[in-house]
Amino acid sequence: MPADTPYVVAHLGVSLDGKTDGFPLDSVRFHQLVGTTWHEDVTLAGSDTVLALEPALVHGPGPRDPGPLLAVVDGRARVTRWEELRDAGHWSEVLALRCHATPPHPHGRHVPELVVGDDQVDLAAALRAIGRRPGAEVVRVASGGRLVGRLLAAGLVDEISLLVHPVMGVGSRDWWGDAPPPQRSLQVIDSDTFGGGLVWLRYRVA
């Protein structure tokens, strides 16, 4: 990772053959690991992940203070429920990551935004800008695969964390996205096993 960007960890729940869908995620264990391991300052999410959350959003308790920033890669301005996301009780504030080709947001739907890149969001520039925010040292990527793949291809991931579930032959989304995973040397950080056949693997990206 460049010296001027924060520490980026991709933490995913996967099947034994590397899929992120088609099986019930052990969400309790998944989020327990999130809460006790990295103490993220920023949650970086793709718009697909956030749009999947939107139908379940209800009036929440308000921004979490202190809490991480939610930064959403929203190059096509598809996310609309920014206030509900901010008030869900998980994040302190929200930030839309957009590019110069992003369509104008609808009237009345203003959100703090960072514009980086021409035709698509420049992830490296976005992380550099986020890293200049006070206290923004650790970024956790919340993605079903596509955003993780883009970050890996750009050399922007420091750590890969996989909570492996004891299933295979299900699902269609690879955790590294749509393209073949880029060649990277990995160094083992740690591993652990839990009840129900779960295995936790952590690697540093060399």
Please give the helix or strand (H or E) that residue 113 lies within, else none: strand 113-115
Q: Tell me, what's the pLDDT at 144?
A: 84
Q: How far apart are CA 19 and CA 17, in angstroms?
A: 6
pLDDT in tens, 58-81: 778 999 999 999 999 999 999 988
Question: Which SS3 state, helix, strand or coil, does residue 153 take?
Answer: helix
Domains, the chain, with CATH or none? 1-39+144-205 (3.40.430.10), 42-136 (no CATH)
Please give the helix or strand (H or E) that residue 160 lies within, else none: strand 159-165
Q: Tell me, what's the pLDDT at 60?
A: 83
Buried b (16+ CB within 10 A) or exposed e, 140-161: bbbbbbbbbbbbbbeebbbbbb
Q: Tell me, what's the pLDDT at 104?
A: 83
> pTM here?
0.92
Q: Write out residues in the chain with pLDDT < 70, as ranges.
A: 1-3, 106-109
**Amino acid residing at 192:** D
